[in-house]
Amino acid sequence: MAEQWTLPRDAPVAVLGAGLMGHAIAAIFASQGYAVTCVEPDDEARRSLDARMHEVLSQLNAVTPVAQAVTVVEHVSQLDRFTPLVIEAAPELLALKQNLLREVAETCPTAVIATNSSVYRVSDVGALVEDRSRVLGTHWWNPPHLMPLVEVIQGAESNPTVVKGMITLLASLGKTPVHVKKDTPGFIGNRLQHAMWREAMALVQEGICDVEAVDVVARNTLGLRLSAIGPIENADYVGLDLTMSIHEYVFPALSTAQEPLEVLQDAVRHGKLGAKTGSGLLCWSEGRREETKRRIDERLKVLLALQ
Ligand SMILES: NC(=O)c1ccc[n+]([C@@H]2O[C@H](COP(=O)([O-])OP(=O)(O)OC[C@H]3O[C@@H](n4cnc5c(N)ncnc54)[C@H](O)[C@@H]3O)[C@@H](O)[C@H]2O)c1
């Protein structure tokens, strides 16, 4: 293989799963001139794809004739054998992803295969692929067309020239790729995020504060500062001696739970799954979910100066 894997600008790109993540990732590639094929088995998702992609493209101020740029098929077996890049954005179910990657590796024997799993190791998702040198992780953040960062995860067997080429490709799409050098569950962002969510739920479970208070504090403290300064720079900024003495005092009080907290398990047991069922840890009255999505998009656009 050449020094660095490259994808020609008008090359075909396949996206497996045109749901929340897949449709936006497909739209990003389509807007940059790639010929995109989406593999989507669900009738409704296929029917609504054009409108959903159009919305993404209009938010990017790049209204490409999507219908011409994107083909939709129902099954991996319909992909062109010589597709050089396949991005997997199917549901977060390990067995489903493993079988899908095996199928795609057989259908497209030379394709680089990137999984968008949120937490699974690349080596787990690619377990049924014979040649795992062409499998890596590209963890996009939601909404992919607004969030600049993409974690590029190098599996134990990923070819480093493919990883390097993917980083170059994502940068050429205007993204901010970050190289994750070890194949660890949750990569960087989701390890940070779920360490905080564990602590958030522990605060509620231990009766330290009401559920609402956790989010009020997070949004009005860390949330305001984090896009200006990350935890490592912040530790240096306040002083590592101070940071160390805080850690010595506070670490013994932090949650080290090794399984989901009871407050979460209890809600799930009772079918309280959050926005999609009308209640979770909070109450989700009609319209709140849509309002939340709008709020996130608008805030991101302000922060990214897209307005
Ligand atoms: N939602 C997020 O915030 C987010 C963020 C980053 C990464 N991810 C990851 O991205 C992936 C997709 O998540 P999502 O939120 O877009 O899910 P989603 O449920 O919205 O979309 C998944 C799509 O895959 C389709 N699908 C099901 N079986 C398939 C198959 N065999 N072949 C092809 N497509 C199939 C479904 O019909 C659906 O349209 C998951 O691995 C998830 O963990 C999600």
Concatenating the DSSP letter of every residue in 152-189 gives EE--TT--HHHHHHHHHHHHHTT-EEEEE-S--TTTTH
Which residue ranges in the chain fall short of pLDDT 70?
1-2, 63-68, 306-307
258 CA distance to ligand 1 centroid (A)?
26
pLDDT score recorded for residue 64: 63
pLDDT score recorded for residue 58: 86
Element holding 45 (H helix, E strand): helix 43-59
What does the block give as tokens for 185? 């569950």
- Determine the residue of 15, 16, 21 to mutate for testing ligand 1's pocket, defined as the one with the most ligand atoms within 8 A of the Cβ atom: 21
Q: Which atom of ligand 1 is nearest to the CA of 90?
A: 24
Q: What does pTM read for this prediction?
A: 0.94
Spell out the alpha helix ranges (H) of 173-261: 189-205, 211-220, 222-225, 231-238, 240-250
β-strand pairing of 12-16 with 85-88:
parallel
β-strand pairing of 176-180 with 149-153:
parallel
Chain centroid to CA 164: 19
Element holding 105 (H helix, E strand): helix 94-107
88 CA distance to ligand 1 centroid (A)?
8
pLDDT score recorded for residue 60: 80
289 CA distance to ligand 1 centroid (A)?
19
pLDDT score recorded for residue 107: 98
86 CA distance to ligand 1 centroid (A)?
14
pLDDT score recorded for residue 68: 64
pLDDT score recorded for residue 275: 97
Residues framing ligand 1 (Cβ under 6 A) = 16-22, 39-42, 45, 89-92, 100, 116-118, 140-142
